[in-house]
Amino acid sequence: MATFGVFALGLIGRPIGTVLLGHIADRINRRQALLLTVSLMMIHSLVVAVLPSYAQVGILAPLALLFMRVLQGVAVGGEYATSSVMLVEAALPGRRGFISSLSKMSAGFGMLLGSAVGAIIMATLPTAWGWRVAFLFGLFLGLVALVLRRKLPHGETLAVAAKARSVPIVEIFRHHWKTVLRLSGLVASGFVSAYLCSIYLVTWLAENTSLGTPIILLINMLVLASSLLLTPFFSALSDRVGRKPLLMIGSLLAAILTVPLFMLMQGATAAVVLAAQLVLAAVRACMNGGSTVYLVEAFPPQLRTSGLAVSLTVAAVLFGGTLPVVAVWLTTLTGSALAPAWYFAVVALLTAVLAAPMRSLDNRKT
């Protein structure tokens, strides 16, 4: 529980990143915000890589680690929103779903690469200091990203934003708070599924199957790899059939199938666990296929980054980063290992109910 609590601590930084980086992206330009996010991540990687141990500096070591976790949250609070807005604005209206999937694919590839690097380090380097190499590698990737991002265009030039005197976050809560709540509800199941299936499920399988950790991590990597194909497929499909049908079908399938699939995985073989997780990955990809586009299109251009970032942050704080803690709490409270699956199923059903009365999620073309 304590480990998952530290993980959730990063959520403290998300609202800060939402306000700061959203303001920069909407009032200055998108590129400047992206340069700042990667710079913050580089600072995080460097400090953690060279962080002294508790034996060397005492309480300062864990305090510095917690502060770096918050700083990481600040960067995450603006990274996905800004990159997603840039991609959607640069794409033709009929290709926005597919193009927007690049941001999700990059996140999935990052998790896959992180898992691979972690496995290699665990197998080849001493535990005492090998973990620091992973953060040094992250620093190197940050430098590469910084060089590439400096060559990006500034993003859409907004005459309205140039003349605006109000603070974007204030406008969002003053005039668009209903939109924020509605969109946060629509992506809540996506956040729950991401944290449940990509993070907490590793712990769940270790406790509810006889599979060893290496096998579980290998299955997790294979599922992540499949998501790199499923995500662009369903995102492109949303360009043809619309965002709402995929959201409705995916949410209802998640509500119906999640608990049976978790029951199937209890005590199962590696092949069965892999098959069940692949089904869950397909359902998640269907549910989230068009999410980035309707989130971006829901706000006017001069407020897009802030609006998207606030909507994502609300959903992340309430449903995403807290999922591991909530899952442990529900399991302890009910005594059932299926409690986290029921939680996801209920949230997915609520997402479908919320989306049902909406006539369309494809109204805006600007």
Written as one string, the DSSP assignment of 213-250 is HHHHHHHHHHHHHHHHHHHHHHHHHHHHH-HHHHHHHH
Quick one: angle between helices 270-288 and 213-241, nearest 10? 30
Q: What is the pLDDT of residues 203-229, one digit of tens each?
A: 899 999 888 888 988 898 899 889 889
Quick check: 263 and 299 in contact, CB under 8 A?
Answer: no
Unique residue bearing structure tokens 């999410």:
291
Q: What is the pLDDT of residues 118-161, one digit of tens each?
A: 778 878 888 788 888 989 998 999 999 999 888 877 655 454 44
Tell me the two tokens of residue 66. Answer: 């917690």
**How confident is the model over 318-334, as pLDDT tens digits?**
887 778 888 889 999 99
CA atoms within 13 A on the CB side of 363: 8
Domain 2-154+174-355, CATH homologous superfamily name and number: MFS general substrate transporter like domains (1.20.1250.20)
Residue type for 345, please? A
Confidence class of residue 55 from pLDDT cuts 50, 70 and 90? confident
Reported in sequence order, the residue ranges of the chain that DSSP labels E, i.e. its strands, are none
270-288 and 177-195 are packed helices; what angle lies between their axes, rounded to 10 degrees? 170
Largest CA distance in the chain: 62
51: which DSSP letter? P
Confidence of residue 347 (pLDDT cuts 50, 70, 90): very high
